[in-house]
Chains A and B, each alone.
Chain A
Amino acid sequence: MVNVYKKLISYAKEKRHFLFMTIIFSILAAIVQVSAFYYLFQLLENVIVQVNMNGAKKYAFMFAGFLATGGILYFLSLTVSHLFAFRVETNLRKYGIDGLANASFKFFDVNSSGRVRKLIDDNAAQTHMAVAHLIPDNIGAMITPILLLILGFFVSVRVGAVLLVMTMVSLVLLKLMMGEAQFMKRYHASLERLSSETVEYIRGMQVVKIFGVDVRSLKALNSAIKDYAQNALSYSLSCKTPYVLFQELFFAISAILIPLILLIVDLSGNLKLLSLELIMVFFLSGVLYTYIMKVMYLSMYIFQAQDAVSKLENLYDEMHEDALQFGDETEFLNHNIEFENVSFGYKKDHLILDHLSFKLKENKSYALVGASGSGKSTIAKLISGFYNVNGGEIKIGGKNITSYTKDALISQISFVFQDPKLFKTTIYENVALAKKGATREEVVEAMRLAGVDAIISKFKDKENTVIGSKGVYLSGGEKQRVAIARAILKNAKIVIFDEASAAIDPDNEHELQKAFSNLMKDKTVIMIAHRLTSIRNVDEILVMEGGKIIERGSDKELMSRDSVYKHFQKIYKTANDWRVANESAV
């Protein structure tokens, strides 16, 4: 428990004083509230034993005054702890934002944006309860029972002893209620299974409906639901006896004590004092009950907080673990690219590239060719500089890319990946952001060269059309053209282009080709094109298979022998010439 709080507190060091204030206020609140019951005791003593009503009135005010003061102090501690909790939440989000800026692209490839957002949003908010409500309550729950016992003994040894016994018995019952660790484990396992079956069920719903087979997945979900309910029920049943006994102990304490008194105590003594003690037991045990209940819920909330913090930390660790490294070099001697024994994979035990080495010369154009999964997109991504390799070095201008400053590196490289994204602002802004301080002419020229002018002519607001607004739809190929306009404006020496195969529509493909050839001029170019006919004039073609470069050379060289490349060209032609045929109709 202490660990969870230590962690949470470390996220809001600047508001640490709030935490101390919370603690102090809650301790004071506990002391003052228990003191109130001392005055209740005095009050009742005046009423019952001394029959002094004026004295009683005085204590009545003290009792109520102390209770109210205690209430105010508790309220203050709650307010301060809320302020602290808000800050923890804010800082947890900020920490997430920091992580984003440094994370390698691998993190974003592996984690969907929605999942990352939801994890951070939900779990940061989850910590609120643990910090805002539980810190004051925890302290109250820990201190008040002790203070109550002290007060009990102050009233009389008998009252103190009864309360002590009640506390100990209830702690034993509480322990029974917590159940075995094994049990909780099973419960949580069934909860997790339920959650993943629900996701699976919903994910497959369209298929399930289309094929009319709701049997299997519904069955699996049903069994997960039943299993969870069964576990919850048996947990609930196992708690029943201790919980009911615990409640009975406190609610029906008079029914336990009265027979005991009749059996043990000599009733010829001071009956008034005895009555006073009895009623004090009744009151104090009531307060004790409230706090012991709080202790009971404590563990549940602590568990939730722990869960939230560990989910966040796992995510943040993942971000920071793979954070990008940069150096302080700013000068590029040339733009030759070199892979030296580079290994890379999304999972440690599954490398996509394994000790790959090759060199690319500046101002030449290269095309990567290969089946899906051969590693061609991976190479393009790695050159972007936003990935950490598992082994080996990627060099540009003879130096490891990690030795350059971030700004220097990104100023040298433009990339247009398969799925470029646009900001929810105007198309003009979306292009202009590629170069700080670009003039209007530059931006317009870049848009023209990339064929974006043809896209914006469809819209009423032209280049001021806002992405994401009503009726504004850009196809994948059109988005790539905007991305190419950015790259043209940026004018970096190295250009990487991964043609979006899925997104190319016939009316777009040629525009995209023209746009990219405008971008290619006088650059070092690495491209992945899906029309194998279009790459015949590049300086060199690199044929990939299983993460290795198995052939390289110009189109002419490779076509002149019995190469894999030649085979690719052949099946490409067959596929391209293929026709859908309804044989009966032919």
Chain B
Amino acid sequence: MKALFKKHFALTEQGATDLVKSSLATFAAYVVNMFPAMLLMMFFDKTLLLNERSNGFYYVASAVVLVLVYIALSVEYDSLFNATYKESENLRIDIARNLSDLPLSYFSKHDLTDLAQTIMADVATLEHALSHSIAKIIGFGGFFILISSMLLISNVKLGLCVISPIVVYYTLILLSKRIQTKSFHKYYKKRRENSDGFQEAIELQAEIQSFAMSEDIKKKLYREVEEGEKIHIASEFVGVTILGLAGLILYITHILVIIVGVSLLAEGEMNILYFLGFLLAGIKIKEGAEANAMNMAELFMVDSVVKRIGEIRNVKRQEGEDKELSDFDIELKDVSFSYDDSADVLDGVTFTAKQNEVTALVGKSGCGKTSILRLVSRLYDVTGGEILISNENINNISTKSLFDKVSIVFQDVTLFDTSVMENIRIGKPDATDEEVKKAAKLANCDDFIEKLENGYDTLIGENGANLSGGERQRLSIARAFLKDAPIIILDEIAAALDVDNENKIQDSLNKLTKDKTVLIISHRLKSIQNVDKIVVIDGGKVESEGKHEELLKTSRVYKDLIDKTALAEEFVY
């Protein structure tokens, strides 16, 4: 049962154990909560059937019932709520750990904010279901079987009167779930469409407004929202009607018990005590059944949540062993790659970036050069061929060993909401303040850091909101200096900057790349003219490779790019 819970509700080991416990506690509470009714029956035995018992018996019995109920409720409470919060804590930590094990490609493929919010909301949903519904349903299920058997044993006819409507009720609820899932699917599809339309309308506001399309777009969105409402109504209608019908069927319990009971009573087949007993049981069970129908509705919602959490756990990990890498040639052998089954972006790419050399990737936009950098830095994994470092397929090297030797400086820099000092220190967590400052100096960061309010201790705001693009870039170069890894990957880093910043970045770059294996992309072709090797990529394939002068003669694509650059440089508006 534990394993089943664990799987079915995406729980941790402890959580599954706790769920078993809380189900048992809930079951016990249901049973114990019948005791007061039994006590009442015993009292009626005295007042209606005049079977004398001593007052002392009732005092003791009442006291025992009160204590038992208190214990049962209190144990149930602890197991439902207190254990739940512990479990949601464990679950969140577990998911956080899982996330840090996920391949980088997972984060490249998913919208990160969406992911974060989903996880937060999902665990909260699961938390609520755990503390309110799941154990209750299981406990009630057990209790229902127990009480049904007891009722059937004591009187088959009346027992059936109580039980059968409830069985029909639950059947209908399950049926309505089926139907609802189907119609909801249609609604969710529409809603997703609407969401996409809405997103597009927001993204394209500048275009929509400047071409006087606001009214048309507004009308279109209005129409879609209205359509969505209609589909929503239709999709809920069927399910709700069945639920309403099911609710009415529950009342049949009362009618049957009373009519049949009164007949039996009139015929003298049963005494009044039994009749009252069945009436009490009937009303209590109906209340329980109704309450649990709401719980079941919640349980249905949990399905998709569990699926999402499960997905994160089941993503294939980037595995590999810890290895000490000694030489740092990067070798691509027949590498092919595509994003999500679409057309191949890379197709049979083979080249080597040698240690102590700068290798530049060049090509038209969309030729696949950025994808190559992403593959080498394992932001994505190859779909065919292999990438070797130290003659070792990078898929077989643990990401920890690999990233130990690689510094990546990308166009977009991720900064954390902490001090400048800590943001640089990420490059080498055990670095001293002095080392950090030295790296900052090498990256030409010190001039702007000194100007900040609190120097190195200045908090930089969420994702470094208070810094300019150039400053952010220099911080990330400082990280790379601090890390001092033998392999350096540079992606178009001087692209979005103004002249002033660019000079400083260029200065520090040449210091950084000294004696390293460097793989670089630059739109500014001039800047890479002197590198050791230029690899020209065209249509996902290596068109040619060599030095600048050779390529001018041998590579049509390279020559074309150089010519176009020259034209752009000479161009005057």
Contacts and interface: CB of A to CB of B under 8 A. Distances in A.
Whether both chains belong to one complex is answered with: yes
B210 A415 contact: yes
A72 B204 CA distance: 48
Question: Dominant SS at the A interface?
Answer: helix
A27 B251 CA distance: 20
**Most chain A CB atoms below 10 A, which of B92, B102, B272:** B92
B205 A210 contact: no
Interface residues of A, number: 171
Interface in B278-331: 280, 283-284, 287, 291
B48 interface: yes
A550 interface: no
A48 interface: yes
A575 B85 contact: no
A420 B63 CA distance: 77
B421 interface: no
A286 B288 CA distance: 11
A457 interface: no
A578 B506 contact: yes
Contacts of B254: 60, 63-64, 67
Given A282-B280, A505-B364, A580-B522, A534 B400 contact: no
A580 B360 contact: yes
B206 A421 contact: yes
Question: Dominant SS at the B interface?
Answer: helix
5 contacts: A199-B117, A251-B69, A371-B498, A372-B468, A575-B499
A72 to B, nearest CB: 7
Contacts of B565: 506, 509-510
A144 interface: no
**Most chain A CB atoms below 10 A, which of B404, B417, B492, B523:** B523
Interface in B428-453: 429
Given A211-B429, A407-B212, 15 more contacts: A60-B258, A83-B233, A86-B229, A97-B221, A252-B69, A255-B36, A279-B40, A367-B573, A372-B469, A372-B501, A534-B573, A580-B510, A582-B357, A584-B514, A585-B358
B365 A508 contact: yes
B89 A229 contact: yes
A108 B208 CA distance: 13
Nearest to A419: B206
B233 A229 contact: no
A404 B555 CA distance: 56
A240 interface: yes
B211 A433 contact: yes
Nearest to B414: A207
Contact of B198 (A121, A501, A580): A121
A67 B257 CA distance: 14
Given A582-B518, A582-B532, A203 B218 contact: no
B483 A211 contact: yes
Contact of B365 (A217, A505, A535): A505
A101 B214 contact: yes
Contacts of B233: 82-83, 86
B262 A585 contact: no
Interface string A219-255: 0011001101100110011011001100110011111
A161 B251 CA distance: 29
A490 B211 contact: yes
Interface in B397-441: 399-400, 403-404, 406, 408, 411, 414, 416-418, 422, 426-427, 429
A293 B531 CA distance: 75
The 7 nearest A-B residue pairs measured at CB: A475-B365, A229-B89, A60-B258, A64-B255, A505-B365, A53-B266, A255-B65
A586 B357 CA distance: 10
Given A114-B111, A421-B203, A507 B564 contact: yes
A414 B522 CA distance: 31
A1 interface: no
A537 B570 CA distance: 12
B255 A61 contact: yes
B572 A534 contact: yes
Given A236-B85, A508-B365, A580 B358 contact: yes
Contacts of A386: 206, 209-210
B408 A210 contact: yes
B568 A571 contact: no
B523 A504 contact: yes
A559 interface: no
Contacts of B549: none
A538 interface: yes
Interface string B340-358: 0011000000000000111
